[in-house]
């Protein structure tokens, strides 16, 4: 029965509720389950948190790569002599960011 409860708990879409439920299973069953099974539940909680961290890192990496592409596009448009306001509209970069890119390209 306990295994079925853990399987159902792992299907809860909300991460906090899932961890709360699995933690509750550990607390409630502390008196009647063996140590190995309790450790297995704890590992599932940790894997859930690890999986969440991995997803966050993937998103951050994707955002960084997208930003690098936007910066490359902005530099290219500046090299072509396009107006800063037009570049701001196209790239979403601020005037300060574009001016900093200009300064970097002049000093390099």
Mean pLDDT of the 40-44 span: 73
Determine contact, residues 31/43, Cβ cutoff 8 Å.
Answer: no
With a cut of 60, say whether residue 108 has pLDDT above it.
no
Which residues are within 8 A (CB) of 38 and not within 5 positions of it... i.e. 6 or more apart?
26, 29, 30
pLDDT at 96: 94
With a cut of 70, say whether residue 30 has pLDDT above it.
no
Determine contact, residues 22/49, Cβ cutoff 8 Å.
Answer: no
pLDDT at 87: 94
pLDDT greater at residue 37 or residue 92 = 92
* Overall pTM > 0.75: no
Mean pLDDT of the 7-29 span: 81
Q: What is the DSSP letter of 58?
A: H
pLDDT greater at residue 35 or residue 69 = 69
């Amino acid at each position: 029965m306990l295994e079925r409860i853990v399987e159902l708990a792992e299907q809860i879409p909300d991460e906090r509720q899932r961890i709360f439920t699995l933690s509750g299973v550990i607390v409630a069953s502390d008196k009647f389950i063996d140590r190995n099974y309790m450790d297995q539940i704890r590992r599932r909680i940790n894997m859930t948190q690890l999986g969440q961290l991995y997803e966050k890192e993937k998103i951050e990496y994707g955002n960084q790569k997208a930003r690098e592409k936007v910066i490359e596009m902005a530099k290219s448009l500046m090299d072509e002599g396009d107006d800063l306001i037009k570049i701001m509209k196209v790239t979403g970069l601020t005037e300060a960011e574009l001016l900093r890119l200009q300064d970097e390209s002049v000093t390099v």
